[in-house]
Amino acid sequence: MNQPPKFGFYISIALAAFIGLTGCAAPTLDPTPAVPALALVNGVLIDGTGAAPVPDAVLVIQGNRIAAAGPRSEVTIPAGATIMDVGGATILPGFINAHVHFAYNEENLAAWAQGGVTTVRDEGIISTEPITGLLALRDTTGQNPRLARLVSAGYMMTVPNGYGELFVSTPEEARQKTLDEIGWGVDLIKVSLEDGYAGRSGLPKLTDEELLAIVTAAHERGMLVSGHITQARFISPLLAAGVDDIAHVAYDRIPDEVIEQMIAQNTYLVPTFTVFRNYGAPIAACVDNLRRFVAAGGNVALGNDYGGGPGKFELGIPMYEIGQMSKAGMTAMQIIVASTRNAAHVSGIEDELGTLEIGKAADVLVVNGDPLQNLDALQQIRLVIHNGVLIRDENSPVQK
């Protein structure tokens, strides 16, 4: 979904172009400004759409945009482009981790970007810093291609003494605080339905009316809503309210009819096996839920619920997460789509990112080897390009 400010921005550009054209007396215009081009050649293209890999492919980046992508025989490389031979490596979209925390942190953002994760979705602020300062940090770090792009869900919304950070007590207050978050500049809304954690249970939770007020206010303004659960019985109330993705696969069995309802509503699932492992939850039950969701045709996005702590979570490509997706029967191609296009979808940035298609922002991960044959190849990073800027280059010779 487009966010209103972005839409307004494009309107402004279009308007400026129109005024520029009509106000210009010169008969000839230069439609192609001299933007430096970079062409990756001799790669295998996996574009994130789920389309079959393209051997002997070329990817052309002009400025910060994808200008062309496809077989060498069909792509024209602009004169003067810098040509980089990637030696048969695999060219993928930059990966997106659609469930992290502690992303308002340059060190973490740098580690993600260097590891090939060029975008992260922070699923809930855990900080005493004012949100306005944190969102300002998102905007300034967003100017630095060496740092992963940050998509912010603001605070997780709940009721007083519930699981989350932003508390509401009535549907009216739920609507108003959703509008407050949007006014502060968040990128999406996060809600929780959580009964307990760390030995607690019976936590108070948002009512159906409060959930509906939040989702309605968010959707009216083009904002997605992500809903936290850890137990299967809380998925249905979130579906009834109309959330767009379920954060965490349940650790108890999700009934088949709930899976069918998720698919009917096109509600995505972001499993986060890593955090379940860290808390000692039964991973086999989590994997079984995902297996049935995927077999029924459900859409999955990558996320590990990064929460800090040495050795507990991977920065960079979350390989534990990917390994469990594979155990649940997802093909390597499905896992790549979950990590790129689908993760962009739940982050509300699918128009800009997630696939290597003409016009999209140039976030690119190049790995040695074939991840369709062996997913471990995702860790054999050769290049990372973020917003058109080469930020990691292991060994490719540059020719001019």
Residues making contact with Zn ion (CB under 5 A): 123, 305
Residue 252: HSE in the Cβ half-sphere, 13 Å Cα cutoff: 7
Q: Which residue is nearest to Zn ion (CB)?
A: 305
Cβ-proximal residues to 159 (8 Å cutoff; 6+ apart), any chain: 167, 168, 169, 204, 205, 206, 210
| Closest separation in Å from C-beta 289 to Zn ion | 18
Nearer to Zn ion, 138 or 248 (CB): 248
| Closest separation in Å from C-beta 305 to Zn ion | 4
Closest CA to 326 of 372, 368, 365, 380: 372
| Closest separation in Å from C-beta 39 to Zn ion | 39
Burial state string for 168-203 with b = 16 or more CB within 10 A and e = fewer than 16: beebeebbebbeebbeebbbbbbbbbbbeeeeeeeb
Nearer to Zn ion, 123 or 187 (CB): 123
Nearer to Zn ion, 214 or 332 (CB): 214
| Closest separation in Å from C-beta 35 to Zn ion | 39
| Closest separation in Å from C-beta 323 to Zn ion | 20
The CA-based angle 63-68-69, given to 5 degrees, is 125
| Closest separation in Å from C-beta 164 to Zn ion | 10
Contact at 8 Å (CB) between 228 and 191?
yes
What stretches of the chain show up as alpha helix (H) in DSSP?
4-22, 106-114, 131-141, 171-184, 208-220, 235-241, 256-264, 273-278, 283-295, 319-327, 332-339, 341-346
Nearer to Zn ion, 123 or 181 (CB): 123
| Closest separation in Å from C-beta 272 to Zn ion | 7
Contact at 8 Å (CB) between 64 and 385?
no
Residue with tokens 């960079």: 316
Nearer to Zn ion, 181 or 305 (CB): 305
| Closest separation in Å from C-beta 286 to Zn ion | 15
Nearer to Zn ion, 61 or 234 (CB): 234
Nearer to Zn ion, 187 or 305 (CB): 305
Nearer to Zn ion, 67 or 275 (CB): 275
Nearer to Zn ion, 305 or 321 (CB): 305
Distance, in Å, from the CA atom of 397 to the CA atom of 158, rounded to the nearest integer, reads 53
| Closest separation in Å from C-beta 12 to Zn ion | 35
Task: Sort strands 381-386 and 389-393 into parallel, antiparallel or unpaired.
Answer: antiparallel
Distance, in Å, from the CA atom of 250 to the CA atom of 235, rounded to the nearest integer, reads 9
Question: In the numeric block, which tokens belong to residue 385?
Answer: 């390009």
Distance, in Å, from the CA atom of 355 to the CA atom of 189, rounded to the nearest integer, reads 24
DSSP character for 104? S
